[in-house]
Amino acid sequence: AIQLTQSPSSLSTSVGDRVSITCQTSQGINRALAWYQQRPGKPPRLLISFASNLEGGVPSRFSGSGSGTDFTLTISSLQPEDFATYYCQQFNSYPYSFGQGTKLEIK
C-alpha cells in the first residue's frame, strides 16, 4: 500500500500569511492526488484533484502542484475560514489512502 506523509503535522500561522503544506508518497503516483479541507465539526471538502485542478467554488488563493512523489498545497493569503485541517489522498492505486493531516492554527 502507498503511504502518504504530510508535513508539517501542524502549523501556527496568521491571517494574510502564505502557507505551503507538503505531501510525500512512498511511490510515484503521477498526478493522482487530491486535497481536502476539513473545518472543525464539519465533513471534509474536496479542494483539488489531479494535484492542481481546483474544484468549482474553491477560492483562487488555493493552489496545488507536484507530480510523482512530492506534492504541495499552497494558500497564498490565509483567511480566517482557512484555519482547518488539510488532507491529501492518492487515487493512483488501491487502496486509495489518505495522509495523516495538517492542522493550521491561528498564531
CA distance 102 to 19: 11
Q: Which is nearer to other proteins, 11 or 18 (CB)?
A: 11
Please tell me the total number of residues recorded for the chain in this structure: 107
Residue number, 16 or 57, with CB nearest to other proteins = 57
Neighbours of 3 (CB within 10 A): 12
CA distances from 73 to 6, 23, 28 (A): 10, 8, 17
Nearer to other proteins, 12 or 93 (CB): 93
Binding site residues, other proteins, CB under 8 A: 32, 34, 36, 42-46, 49-50, 55, 87, 89, 91, 94-101
Minimum Å distance from CB 34 to other proteins? 4
